Amino acid sequence: MTGTPAPFTADDYRARMERAARAADEAGLAGVLVSPGPDLVWLTGYAPPAATERLTLLVLTPGQDPVLVVPTLEAPDAEKAVGAPALKLRDWTDGKDPYTTTAPLLDASGRFGVSDNAWAMHLLGLQRELPGTSYVSLSDGLPMLRAVKDAAELERLAAAGAAADDTYEEILKVAFAGRRESDVAGDLADLLRHFGHEQVDFTVVGSGPNGANPHHEAGSRVIGHGDTVVLDFGGLKHGYGSDTSRTVHVGEPSAEEQRVHDIVRAAQQAAFEAVRPGIACQDVDRVARAHITDAGYGDRFIHRTGHGIGVTTHEPPYMIEGEEQPLVPGMCFSVEPGIYLPGRFGVRIEDIVTVTEDGGRRLNDTPREMAVVN
């Protein structure tokens, strides 16, 4: 649909780091400590080797320049990161203690937000070096840090959504009956890559009773005529996520299958229509849940209504009872109610939705009726 989006610039990353430091200040934190993973990619564009056990840590302190603590042997690659011009590099060499290198950068009695996926080994090392510090996970301390997307991010999320939609349109043409779930899952992965995803995160194909397990991935079960099949797939395109579900049927559905599907579709539509700035995340969940409960299936809707999406396919904000965070224009999240009947079948319908000034806009827009496949 679109070409390659313009790359993020050093200024984009500088602005994100300033925003994170400001948010930390407003949250009463002395700073933010960011380890390799989605937070670091989002803040700096830097993704060190996946298996690195050596300490790499971005230190964001309000009012000071960002510092990246990095192993000496990784420094040349770190310097090539797009966000590097906004960073001071502080390298440490094998054999030295990385925590004594890091300690002078930190307020010795401060409370810091730490990436959720930081290695325990590193956090324990910092605590040993600076016993007066304390820590909170970033998803608790600054859950909304990455939640509001800017125009360039929305462009990428829309492109990922469009690619997932193209994938769905194509999967309707393949044979389901007589093939294993894993075969259809392979088709989904191939199609996502064909339409520009560099990473496939999940390809759920839940046929018949397997559809009643929301996170059933895909197994050796041979799909048969009469099966309801839950499809849920996504990954990253240009570094941003897709995630969509549709439920299809092999041949004509029974009256009950059609009725359950109609309930989920109406619940998903109602929750989408509820999206607008100012309502709480939990209100989106409540609207979907009320609809399914009124139809008699409240105890069969066994997960939250949605999750945020960005440089990962699951992140804050969560559309769940108890989440009072108001929706803000630019937030992107899934709306994905479902009904799961153990031993029988499941139905889920999922779109990514972004909050606009006056409502919501879907980033997935394939037909939501239950498609009949062969």
The footprint of Zn ion on residues 245-284 (CB under 5 A) is 245, 257
The reply to whether 232 sits near Zn ion by the rule CB under 5 A is: yes
Of 13 and 333, the one with the shorter C-beta distance to Zn ion is: 333
In whole angstroms, how close is the CB of 241 to Zn ion at the nearest point? 9
**Helix (H) and strand (E) counts in the chain:** 10, 18
| Two structure tokens written together for 109 | 């009695």
How many whole angstroms separate alpha carbon 204 and alpha carbon 165?
A: 15
Of 92-100, 182-190, 208-216, 342-350, which part binds Zn ion (CB under 5 A)?
342-350
How many whole angstroms separate alpha carbon 372 and alpha carbon 10?
A: 48
DSSP readout, 94-137?
Answer: TTS-HHHHHGGGS-TT-EEEE-TT--HHHHHHHHHH-TT-EEEE
In whole angstroms, how close is the CB of 2 to Zn ion at the nearest point? 23
In whole angstroms, how close is the CB of 234 to Zn ion at the nearest point? 6
Residue type, 36: P
The reply to whether 110 sits near Zn ion by the rule CB under 5 A is: no
Of 84-92, 127-135, 241-249, 288-296, which part binds Zn ion (CB under 5 A)?
241-249
- CA neighbor of 213 nearest in space, from 230, 237, 201: 230
Of 238 and 246, the one with the shorter C-beta distance to Zn ion is: 246
Of 23 and 373, the one with the shorter C-beta distance to Zn ion is: 373
Of 130 and 271, the one with the shorter C-beta distance to Zn ion is: 271
CA distance to 74, 222, 320, 325, per residue, from 28 (Å): 32, 55, 26, 18
How many whole angstroms separate alpha carbon 32 and alpha carbon 106?
A: 10
Of 62 and 209, the one with the shorter C-beta distance to Zn ion is: 209
The footprint of Zn ion on residues 183-212 (CB under 5 A) is none
How many whole angstroms separate alpha carbon 116 and alpha carbon 120?
A: 10
Of 207 and 269, the one with the shorter C-beta distance to Zn ion is: 207
Of 3-11, 149-157, 172-180, 237-245, which part binds Zn ion (CB under 5 A)?
237-245
How many whole angstroms separate alpha carbon 350 and alpha carbon 280?
A: 19
The reply to whether 285 sits near Zn ion by the rule CB under 5 A is: no
In whole angstroms, how close is the CB of 334 to Zn ion at the nearest point? 4
Of 136 and 371, the one with the shorter C-beta distance to Zn ion is: 371
Query: How many residues touch Zn ion (CB under 5 A)?
Result: 7
Evaluate the omega torsion of the peptide bond into residue 317 and state whether it is cis, within 30 degrees of 0: yes
Of 30-38, 75-83, 130-138, 229-237, which part binds Zn ion (CB under 5 A)?
229-237
In whole angstroms, how close is the CB of 300 to Zn ion at the nearest point? 17
The reply to whether 165 sits near Zn ion by the rule CB under 5 A is: no
- Residue 331: CA count within 13 A, CB half-sphere: 32
Angle between helices 255-274 and 281-294 (to 10 degrees): 150
Of 39 and 257, the one with the shorter C-beta distance to Zn ion is: 257
The reply to whether 243 sits near Zn ion by the rule CB under 5 A is: yes
- Which 3 state secondary structure label does DSSP give 359? strand
- Which 3 state secondary structure label does DSSP give 26? helix
The reply to whether 226 sits near Zn ion by the rule CB under 5 A is: yes
The reply to whether 334 sits near Zn ion by the rule CB under 5 A is: yes
Residues at the site binding Zn ion, with contacts judged by CB under 5 A: 226, 232, 243, 245, 257, 334, 350
